[in-house]
């Protein structure tokens, strides 16, 4: 089963995903994509780690800023274990920074998104993925910001397409969207 959890910044996405993972399984692998480039980010990561440690749920943390698709392709589920990937938009940023100087940056990052979507689709275990909904705000004034916003929207659509459930979290309230989705039939 694949579950996408999306919402705005500080909406409660990660804490919901962690609680939902504990509801679905008896232990978890937490794939952290964030990189602590400054003190403030290091503090945020420490708070997330502390929250997981205090939850009573057995988490194993794997720090993987780029090769999440490779991890999922190698992953062999164990009974009752879930994988939680937090966060896809940070993962996307990591790839953008990796390819930023390349003429075909958008194409290369798009290929990474396709690889991830396919790895999620094929993964035999339960996978929860946390992402940010970035397309509801203003249009960024600089090109890289617009490219990031557009790629994030495409990525979220791709992952939602291979997910069994998609939750939108707003003000700490999760709503499952796929059940509510309009269908042309």
Contact 8, 38 (CB under 8 A): no
The response to whether 161 counts as a known ligand-binding position is no
Radius of gyration of the chain (CA): 16
The response to whether 11 counts as a known ligand-binding position is yes
Order across the sheet with 165-170: list the strands. Answer: 59-63, 27-32, 81-86, 126-130, 2-7, 165-170, 173-176
What whole-number distance in Å separates Cα of residue 124 and Cα of residue 61?
20
The response to whether 104 counts as a known ligand-binding position is no
What whole-number distance in Å separates Cα of residue 92 and Cα of residue 40?
20
The response to whether 152 counts as a known ligand-binding position is no
The response to whether 172 counts as a known ligand-binding position is no
The response to whether 14 counts as a known ligand-binding position is yes
The response to whether 40 counts as a known ligand-binding position is no
DSSP state of 99: H
Name the catalytic one among 20, 21, 31, 48: 48
Contact 12, 167 (CB under 8 A): no
Contact 173, 11 (CB under 8 A): no
The response to whether 43 counts as a known ligand-binding position is no
The response to whether 8 counts as a known ligand-binding position is yes
- 23 catalytic, yes or no? no
Instruction: Mark the binding-site residues, compressed into ranges.
Output: 7-14, 32-34, 49-52, 63, 86
Catalytic residues: 48
Instruction: Mark the binding-site residues for GTP, compressed into ranges.
Output: 7-14, 32-34, 49-52, 63, 86
């Amino acid at each position: 089963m694949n579950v996408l959890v999306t919402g705005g910044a500080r909406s409660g996405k990660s804490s919901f995903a962690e609680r939902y993972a504990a509801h679905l399984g008896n232990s978890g692998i937490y794939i952290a994509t964030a990189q602590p480039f400054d003190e403030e980010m290091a503090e945020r990561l420490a708070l997330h780690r502390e929250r997981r440690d205090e939850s009573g749920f057995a988490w194993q943390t794997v720090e993987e800023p780029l090769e999440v698709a490779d991890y999922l392709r190698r992953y062999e589920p164990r009974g009752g274990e879930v994988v939680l990937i937090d966060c896809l938009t940070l993962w996307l940023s990591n790839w953008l920074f990796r390819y930023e100087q390349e003429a075909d940056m958008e194409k290369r990052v798009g290929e990474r998104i396709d690889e991830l979507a396919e790895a999620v689709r094929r993964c035999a275990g339960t996978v929860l993925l946390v992402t940010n909904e970035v397309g509801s705000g203003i249009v960024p004034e600089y090109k890289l910001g617009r490219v990031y916003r557009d790629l994030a929207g495409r990525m979220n659509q791709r992952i939602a397409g291979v997910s069994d459930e998609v939750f939108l979290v707003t003000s700490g309230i999760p709503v499952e969207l796929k059940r509510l989705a309009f269908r042309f039939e």
